[in-house]
Amino acid sequence: MYSPLRIVAVFCYLAGNVVADTASDLAGALAQYPSLSTLRQLVNQEPKLINTLFGNNKNFTVLAPSNEAFTQYTADNHRQLADVGAELLSNTLSYHILAGGLPYARFDSLGARGLTVPTLLTGELYNNRSAGVSLAASFGPGASGQVVLIQKNATDGYVQVQASQQQHVNLTGLDKQWSGGYIHMVDKIFDLPKNCTKTMEDTDGLGTLYNALEDSGAYGPIDTMANVTCLGPNDEAFNEAGNPQQRFNTSETNWMIRSHVIREPLYPDQIQNGMVLQTLRNTTINITVNGDHIFFNNARVQNTALTNNGVIYVLDKILARDPVPVQSGDPTSTSPSPSPTNEAAKPSASKHLSLAFILGGMFALL
């Protein structure tokens, strides 16, 4: 026989289970931190959205934007995050949720190349890429959302999150455990990733390359291709190679793109010494890792930017040309063209070397 008391107890347990959903768990966990009160308020206002984002899984890391981050967002965007509309709100929040439970200790011990972590941000517009083998191995095959890079600055010891483009955001380890995993604090709201050319436009040192793409109107291919690593020679690289004012036509720009794009998103912590990669032209690029420095052939990586379809490495040189793949019936593939980086390395040669000539020669071999 069940006593009435016992039935009431069972009822209360069931009701409690319904009420204690992810959103209220999260709000409860955030309540302990006065500097996260704006986020808590948002979670309380949007329980349905929060529950949908998390689903039934329980192993996440929430990178909780501080109250200052929300204030900054409002100043930058002239409206509050709560007012941007359901879709943008959902996408923005999902980019702050890491698809794995990561205590601060995981970040504190990171080397120079950091850790690439998938988030819950999905959909072609912001995530036209998919998890590679090594990401899937670390975070599970379901962890296919757009990534952030987490790095520790060896000089000042700050842990930073690199989100869209080159945005670097400070992370404060809270190690707050809750039913959905961990919570840490970040001091900015992440921008959503943009396409390659838009990212180049906003990336330090890629002005010449961006102008070339814009002038030639040859954006299309890299912007709408899924799964890429783009190698972007910086302004000095173009200067060194010849004439930075040179305007590029579409064919030349296509050459540039095809020999500097790799058809897989290769994030910094996945790069290994001795890797050989294939470009869109089927030429190969050798990777060398020397201490903290990464080289694609003889060009050194200066910087990294995240795009919706992969990653851009800013390089200090235009890539030296590999032997051209054999193309049957190509009347122009006869004499070898000069190699931009080798020539540019000779101080006396650079004056005689016009970029138009280099690219023209290369284009003939496309």
- Least distance (Å) between residue 71 CB and ligand NAG: 14
Cβ distance to ligand NAG smaller for residue 210 or 363: 363
Q: What is d(CA 22, CA 120) in angstroms, rounded to the nearest whole number? A: 15
- Least distance (Å) between residue 201 CB and ligand NAG: 9
- Least distance (Å) between residue 358 CB and ligand NAG: 9
Cβ distance to ligand NAG smaller for residue 44 or 249: 249
Cβ distance to ligand NAG smaller for residue 289 or 356: 356
Q: What is d(CA 158, CA 357) in angstroms, rounded to the nearest whole number? A: 46
Cβ distance to ligand NAG smaller for residue 9 or 220: 220
Q: What is d(CA 63, CA 189) in angstroms, rounded to the nearest whole number? A: 9
- Least distance (Å) between residue 89 CB and ligand NAG: 19
Phi–psi pair at 183, nearest 5 degrees: -130, 130
Q: What is d(CA 283, CA 43) in angstroms, rounded to the nearest whole number? A: 50
Cβ distance to ligand NAG smaller for residue 24 or 249: 249
Phi–psi pair at 262, nearest 5 degrees: -110, 140
DSSP state of 352: G
- Least distance (Å) between residue 15 CB and ligand NAG: 28
Q: Under the rule (CB under 6 A), what is the footprint of ligand NAG?
A: 59, 100-102, 124-125, 128, 130, 132, 139, 153, 155-156, 158, 168, 170, 187, 194-195, 197-198, 219-220, 223-227, 249, 251-252, 264-265, 281-282, 286, 297, 320, 322, 325, 356, 360, 363
- Least distance (Å) between residue 334 CB and ligand NAG: 15
Run of H or E residues at 340: helix 340-345
Cβ distance to ligand NAG smaller for residue 46 or 260: 260
Total count of residues recorded for the chain: 366
Cβ distance to ligand NAG smaller for residue 45 or 68: 68
- Least distance (Å) between residue 22 CB and ligand NAG: 16
Q: Which two tokens stand for residue 75?
A: 């100043």
Residue 194's nearest CA partner among 106, 128, 136, 111 is 128
Cβ distance to ligand NAG smaller for residue 46 or 169: 169
The rounded Cα 171 to chain-centroid distance in angstroms is 17
Q: What is d(CA 273, CA 346) in angstroms, rounded to the nearest whole number? A: 27
| Position closest to ligand NAG via CB | 100
